[in-house]
Amino acid sequence: MSETLVLDRLDDWRRSHDCGALRASDVGSEVCLMGWAQFRRDHGGLIFIDLRDRGGLTQAVFCPEGSEAALERAHVLRVEYVLAVKGRVRLRPEGMANPGMPTGAIEVEVTEFKLLNTAATPPFPIEDRIDASEMLRLKYRYLDLRRPKLAANFILRNRAVQSIRRYLDGLGFLEVETPVLTKSTPEGARDFLVPSRLSNGSFYALPQSPQLFKQLLMMSGFDRYYQVVKCFRDEDLRADRQPEFTQVDIEMSFVDEEQIMLMAENMVRTMFKEAADVALPDVFPRMTFAEAMRDYGVDKPDIRFGLKLVDVTSVVRQSQFQVFAKAELVKGVRVPGGAALSRKEIDDLTEFVKIYGAKGLAWIKIKEDEWQSPFAKFLSDAERAGLVEAFGIEVGDIVFFQAGAADMVNAALGNLRLQLGERFGLVPEGSFAPLWVTDFPLLEYDPEGKRYAAKHHPFTAPQAGHLERLAEDPAGALSRAYDLVLNGNEIGGGSIRIHDRETQKAMFAALGIGDQEAEDKFGFLLRALEFGAPPHGGIAFGLDRLIMILAGAKSIRDVIAFPKTQKAMCLLTEAPGEVSLAQLRELGIKLRTRDKDKDKDKA
């Protein structure tokens, strides 16, 4: 290779097709393609380059028939060099077609090419099948995004967003932007704070959602609003969480739950069909929160497979097995054919449920001549008969049990159920099962704070007559909230909102927010509620999670162009990073490290 390469200008060259467009019907056409050299194969008198762009791949062949000069120059080309090629489309030689490739029937016989840029050797192959670590790929995200599989996720995401916008525009919704710099309000997660230069000592907060602003837009008379909007939450991260994420935020006036749910259901159904040619059911099934917790242990059940949980508290209430007899709740899940699990596999599942607060995992293997279990000897004949009836037990099954506080039992078994579904191949590939979950509790008890908190948010309206329950039975009050669940993931959540000041103040009081605190934090909302606020409600969809499911990705990082790690860091830009002392002085901020603070506290 020459030590110096003169990079060509495009001048009057114009791309005629993308690299995924040509077919056998284009044979004989003169074309101009531009892209990156995906693969290079030098066969002596022939050089093959697979040219790649966002549209796909086309094989370009440098040969004497096309141009001796181009063939001679092509020896300098390497992987990821940027090229423009002109040539004639021809059929590949007999037996050389690639039926697994959209352009596999043809190739371009190069008559002329321009080298637009060279490239350093990539730190990993630009291919779908690579074993490079995610950390390395995130550091070189611009290279990772060149991979066809990852690029396809963003093509899908674009189609989905455009479908949503068309659908909502057709129903008369207005797309309205809301502020990014706003006031810190208690909405669940920690806020990201932004110091104010003009008001030293004061801070903006980045919005966890546009919740209050979209309600204010309803009070402004904008009776149908939506926004594809960035939201920010400073919370511990998992595969399906990011510190900044995108919502499809929707609000409507003069509607009830049925109207909002029907609108949202049709929107999702339309988007799936237009973006991915996936047909969802004509009617999405519904389930109350109480039913979901009873049968699945979680409020976002995956209904693509069975393995429902069964409450056997009454069956074992008098058991000699004290773990069962003394428990608030005893539930189990039967796995047909699960007796084949080894002891090590059971031990692994036992460690898994400990994540959810369980101390262990009780189990029974149903053998032909015995019930194999560490506690089977404590079960009476009546209890065994009761369990057979409750679960429909058959030889070859295994039944897992959990006993204790209701929250722990449901969380441990509900998540164990998902593990078992995957392990036993019960989840159908490529299937989608949407589900509405309704009738959520208005409040939930926070054991750490030792008080009740809003299940959704403090602006959710109670069901008729349930506001009065808050004083004597806070846990029994139900809300007008609804979640849309898909394959065990919450993809959308919403509610009818409180639209009068007195109800909102009563809700604040139930959450331990006094009049003065309510005025300090939400005075602008309370004042707005005095000026004829209409009945209103809405729903917000987690766009990243929705696209993740639709694309079959394992993490929302695969559908976000430049995501953060699980430590909320951007490996590409090395954010967050330090800033200069001059910037801090201007903001009136003096830094103290956490270690120094701890030492000071100890002193």
Cα-based angle 408, 413, 416 (whole degrees, multiple of 5): 125
Q: Quickly list DSSP for 146-174.
A: TSHHHHHHHHHHHHHHHHHHHHHHHTT-E
- pLDDT at position 603 is 37
Domains of the chain by residue range = 24-117, 151-286+435-559, 305-427
User: Of the CATH numbers 3.40.50.300, 1.10.260.40, 3.30.1360.30, 3.30.70.380, which one belongs to the domain with range 305-427?
Assistant: 3.30.1360.30
SS3 at position 78: coil
199-224 mean pLDDT: 95
Is the model's pLDDT at 115 over the cut of 80?
yes
Show the CA angle centred on residue 46, arms to residues 42 and 52, nearest 5°.
Answer: 65
Residue 470 scores a pLDDT above 90: no
The amino acid at residue 499 is H
The one-character DSSP state at 234 is: B
Nearest to 219 by CA among 489, 500, 583: 500
Would the pLDDT of 529 be above 90? Answer: yes
Residue 512 pLDDT grade (very low, low, confident, very high; cuts 50, 70, 90): confident
> 513 pLDDT exceeds 90?
no
Is residue 595 scored above 60 in pLDDT?
no
Confidence check: pLDDT of 602 > 50: no
- Bridge partners of 398, per DSSP, are 335, 365
In tens, the pLDDT along 565-579 reads 988 999 999 999 999
Q: What is the pLDDT of residues 19-68, one digit of tens each?
A: 999 999 999 999 999 999 999 999 888 999 999 999 999 999 999 999 99
Class of domain 24-117: mainly beta
Q: Could you give the dihedral angle defined by the CA atoms of residues 36, 40, 44 and 45, in that order, rounded to the nearest 10 degrees?
A: -40
pLDDT tens, residue by residue, 403-430: 999 999 999 999 999 999 999 999 998 8
* Phi-psi domain of 588 (left: phi exceeds 0; alpha: psi -120 through 50; beta: other): left
Task: Tell me what the mean pLDDT of segment 143-149 comes to.
Answer: 95
What is the rounded (10 degree) CA torsion for 273, 277, 281, 285? -70
Relative to beta strand 481-486, strand 434-438 is antiparallel
Quick one: average pLDDT of 527-543?
A: 97
Give the 3-state secondary structure of residue 401: strand
Rg (C-alpha) for the chain, rounded Å, is: 30
Cβ count within 10 A of residue 16:
15
pLDDT at 125: 94
Query: Cβ distance 537 to 218 under 8 Å?
Result: no
Among 1-10, 87-96, 155-164, 568-577, the least confident range: 1-10
Cis ω before 458 (30° cut-off from 0):
no
pLDDT at residue 334 tops 70: yes
**What are the Cα distances from residue 177, in Å, to 181, 217, 228, 545?**
12, 10, 9, 22
Residue 162 has pLDDT above 80, yes or no: yes
What pLDDT score was predicted for residue 3? 44
For 395-402, what is the mean pLDDT? Answer: 97
pLDDT confidence of 4, banded at 50, 70, 90? low
How many angstroms separate the Cα of 415 from the Cα of each of 122, 301, 311?
40, 10, 16
Please provide the average confidence, as pLDDT, over all residues in the chain.
93
Share of residues in the chain with pLDDT > 90 (%): 84
Token representation of residue 4: 């110096």
Cα–Cα dist 188/208, whole Å: 9
Can you tell me the distance from the alpha carbon of 264 to that of 173, in angstroms, rounded to the nearest whole number? 13
- The answer on pLDDT for 399 being more than 80 is yes
Give the CA distances from residue 84 to residues 38, 178, 591, in Å, rounded to whole numbers and listed in that order: 13, 43, 52
Asked if pLDDT for residue 237 goes beyond 80, the answer is: no
598 pLDDT higher than 80: no
pLDDT band at 601 (very low <50, low <70, confident <90, very high): very low
The pLDDT, as a whole number, for residue 94 is: 93
Task: Determine whether 318 is exposed, middle or buried from the number of CB atoms within 10 Å of its CB (0-12, 13-18, 19+).
Answer: exposed
Confidence (pTM) = 0.91
| pLDDT tens by residue, 58-105 | 999 999 999 999 999 999 999 999 999 999 999 999 999 999 999 999
Closest CA to 479 of 498, 452, 502: 498
The stretch 157-166 carries a mean pLDDT of 98
Domain 151-286+435-559: CATH superfamily, name plus number:
Bira Bifunctional Protein; Domain 2 (3.30.930.10)
Q: Give the closest residue to 305 by CA, choosing from 283, 266, 334.
A: 334
Whether residue 87 contacts residue 66, with contact meaning beta carbons closer than 8 Å, is answered with: yes
Report pLDDT for 57. 96
What's residue 186's pLDDT?
Answer: 66
Q: To the nearest whole percent, how much of the chain has pLDDT over 70?
A: 96
In DSSP notation, 292-348 reads HHHHHSSSS--TTS----EE-TTTSTT-S-HHHHT-SEEEEEEETTGGG--HHHHHH
Pair 174, 222: CB distance under 8 Å: yes
